[in-house]
Amino acid sequence: MDWGTELWDQFEVLERHTQWGLDLLDRYVKFVKERTEVEQAYAKQLRNLVKKYLPKRPAKDDPESKFSQHQSFVQILQEVNDFAGQRELVAENLSVRVCLELAKYSQEMKQERKMHFQEGRRAQQQLESGFKQLENSKRKFERDCREAEKAAQTAERLDQDINATKADVEKAKQQAHLRSHMAEESKNEYAAQLQRFNRDQAHFYFSQMPQIFDKLQDMDERRATHLGAGYGLLSEAELQVVPIIAKCLEGMKVAADAVDAKHDSQVLIELHKSGFARPGDVEFEDFSQPMNRAPSDSSLGTPSDGRPELRGPGRSRAKRWPFSKKNKVGAGALGVGVWV
């Protein structure tokens, strides 16, 4: 089934359909272009997000980098960054292989379509011009026939009129003969024009326009095939990055499985253990017995106001509490490490 045979009289239908096809091609190109913009924006947002959460300090200067939890998070950020790179690759492939190539192809199709319809319109104009010539020759033949008949009637009337002169009768006969000759020539011209037009019309409907319509059909089918391939490129661009994206996701899973709570607890111990022994029991201080000290000891244990000086663990009581914010330095005397 071809357009030239089945749609020989649907010139305007084919004109609308082929234009619709090109409009659909351009619409798809526009869709893919906007899709690439979405992918590029997505990739950019992912990269900015990764940059926001990546550690600011080098790993060698950051004690937290020794924890598996921290290392896994950094690895996940790196995988997300690689994932963003794959989205950029999808956008690039769609931009080059779909937007640029299909846009170029669309322009070529528009030029080809324009050429075919210009050829069809020229052929139609030529046929219409031939038909006008046929109509003109037909009207001339009809007019010359009426004039010839009128001249013949005039000559016959004068020939029967006894009052008509011989010269008038002869002149009327000559005019009738001239008009008859002109009508015969018009008849021959009309017959020739009719034969020529029928030949041109047959060529137009059975050869010329079918060939043009078949070219349009071939063009439209090639456009549809190319568009279908363009549809396929949308999924191919995704499938191309699936293995890498799968590796990124697998890397995230590996990072999640790499979190080792026991290891991190040991790392914390190694980073912050003081090595000191924990404080012992506090001794009982008996204040119920009077304190009798030798005068010689007053200079050592009794303040100038006569009150006894407290010695021993009681003076360092505040340093015994490991959760106190004040316990930042000097805890070694009680066997407590430095707490930051």
Concatenate the DSSP letters of all residues of 161-222 into one string.
Answer: -TTS-HHHHHHHHHHHHHHHHHHHHHHHHHHHHHHHHHHHHHHIIIIIHHHHHHHHHHHHHH
Tokens of 229: 């391939």
The pLDDT tens digits for 299-327 are 444 454 555 544 444 444 445 556 655 54
- Cα–Cα dist 335/340, whole Å: 16
pLDDT of residue 61 exceeding 60, the answer is: yes
pLDDT of residue 340 exceeding 80, the answer is: no
Query: Which pLDDT value is given to residue 301?
Result: 47
pTM, two decimals, is 0.72
* Mean of pLDDT values over 45-73: 88
Query: Which pLDDT value is given to residue 338?
Result: 41
Q: Name the average pLDDT for the chain.
A: 85
Which of 133-142, 159-168, 277-286, 287-296 holds the top average pLDDT? 133-142
The pLDDT tens digits for 86-120 are 999 999 999 999 999 999 999 999 999 999 999 99
Helices (H), the chain: 3-6, 11-53, 68-94, 101-160, 166-203, 209-257, 261-272, 298-301
Tokens of 307: 């009150």
Query: Which pLDDT value is given to residue 295?
Result: 53
Q: Give residue 158's pLDDT band: very low, low, confident or very high (50, 70, 90).
A: confident
Q: How many CB atoms lie within 10 A of CB 120?
A: 21
Q: What is the DSSP letter of 54?
A: S
Residues 6 or more apart in contact with residue 334 via CB below 8 angstroms: 279, 316, 319, 320
Distance of alpha carbon 85 from the chain centroid: 17
- CATH classification code of 11-270: 1.20.1270.60
The pLDDT tens digits for 215-240 are 999 999 999 999 999 999 999 999 99
Q: Which of 124, 161, 86, 128 minimizes the C-alpha distance to 9? A: 124
Distance of alpha carbon 43 from the chain centroid: 14
Percent of the chain whose predicted confidence (pLDDT) is above 70? 85
